[in-house]
Amino acid sequence: MSELQNAKQLVRDYHDKLDAASPGTIAETLGQYVGREYLWRGFHPFNLIEGADAVAGQFWEPLRASLRHLQRREDIFFAGRNEIDGFSSVWVASMGHLMGLFDSAWLGIAPTGKMGFLRYCEFCRVEGDRIVETAMYFDIPHLMMQAGLQPFPPQTAAHLVQPGPMTHDGLLFAQQDPATGEDTLALINAMISDLGQWKSGLSLEDELARTWADDMIWWGPAGIGATYTINRYAEQHSAPFRAGFADRSGTGHICRMAEGQYGGFFGWPNFTATPTGGFMGLPGTGKPGEFRVIDIYRRAGDKLAENWIFIDLLHFWKQQGVDILARSEHVPRT
């Protein structure tokens, strides 16, 4: 347990120093906390970046120059051992919003001069006193929509600045009972087994009811949206998603873990599938596409109650020949 607590403290210290770093010192700050062969995974257009200097120069410095007075508004924080490698590695997850004054363009998105919220979720692998690997997933289309752009056709569910857990207990800074996390991970695995391959033989609603609470909330990414209750989730996301794809691959994760009532996973990619038409109002291409995803869950009793999802939709649609970022640059704001 002390290893998990030490890893949490390292990541908390890293966040404090990174958030307080002045322009031009971010690479130095990263260098104090990350390993020499640091590997960073981010959504399109960042993708894989290696080394503290490159991560600072390509991601953090430009973002901090655009979202001035950046503030981390964290909703969920937990750590765990990674089931995927036999529980040998230790990871720390952080989720929330990076909020700032959107005063300069970022990725071709024109500034608003108003508050901007970048949804993020980060998984950090810790070895000793260093962070050696990070998956930093963030919802760029959500920021685009705040800036008045419409990167996708109208979505099926609701577009929101998303709140944290209804229970307001997602920051697991203190030591947790290992048995509670084991129960959470077992439920997540049951959900993956039941639903992950779309082959349960049950109706969609009956599938969902095996592992989800009736009043579940699915906090989906911009372009899809958030939806509430099993019936509305089936209607507004799960059924349209399944109907719009063929040839879904098996599920593959780099990390899957849980602590307390919270857990989650990410992949690179999690799975591939071929769009046949209709998904997000865009046509089918017949080309397999990758889904890079983070899922974070809150368990309540023996069911999953809330799920926060990050999907690299920019990467997926670029694989289909649609460059959402490029076609949105310099579009007049409404």
The pLDDT tens digits for 142-155 are 999 999 999 988 77
Q: State residue 104's pLDDT score.
A: 97
- Please report, as a single letter, which amino acid is at residue 111: P
Q: Which parts of the chain have pLDDT scores under 50?
A: 330-334
Tokens matching residue 149: 């752009």
> pTM for the full model?
0.95
Q: Which of 143, 137, 95, 117 is nearest to 297 (CA)?
A: 95
* 178-328 CATH fold: Nuclear Transport Factor 2; Chain: A, (3.10.450)
CA-based R_g, the chain, Å: 19
CA dist 194 to 71, 191, 202, 224, 243, Å?
39, 5, 10, 23, 18
Q: Where are the domains of the chain?
A: 2-146, 178-328
Q: State residue 80's pLDDT score.
A: 98
Q: State residue 10's pLDDT score.
A: 98
Q: State residue 194's pLDDT score.
A: 78
Token pair 């899922």 is found at: 295
Q: State residue 330's pLDDT score.
A: 47
Q: Which of 269, 314, 291, 266 is nearest to 124 (CA)?
A: 266
CATH (residue range 2-146): 3.10.450.50
Q: How far apart are CA 155 and CA 224, in angstroms?
A: 5
- Residue 118: beta bridge partners? 98
Q: State residue 329's pLDDT score.
A: 61
Phi, psi angle pair for 31, to nearest 5°: -60, -25
Rounded (5°) CA angle 253-123-322: 65
Q: State residue 250's pLDDT score.
A: 86
Q: Quick check: do 2-146 and 178-328 share a fold?
A: yes
Q: State residue 314's pLDDT score.
A: 96
CB count, 10 Å around CB of 187? 21
Contact 62, 140 (CB under 8 A): no
What is the three-class DSSP state of 285?
coil
What is the three-class DSSP state of 206?
helix
- Please report, as a single letter, which amino acid is at residue 28: E
Q: How far apart are CA 152 and CA 324, in angstroms?
A: 8
- Residue 73: beta bridge partners? 97
Tokens matching residue 215: 């009043």
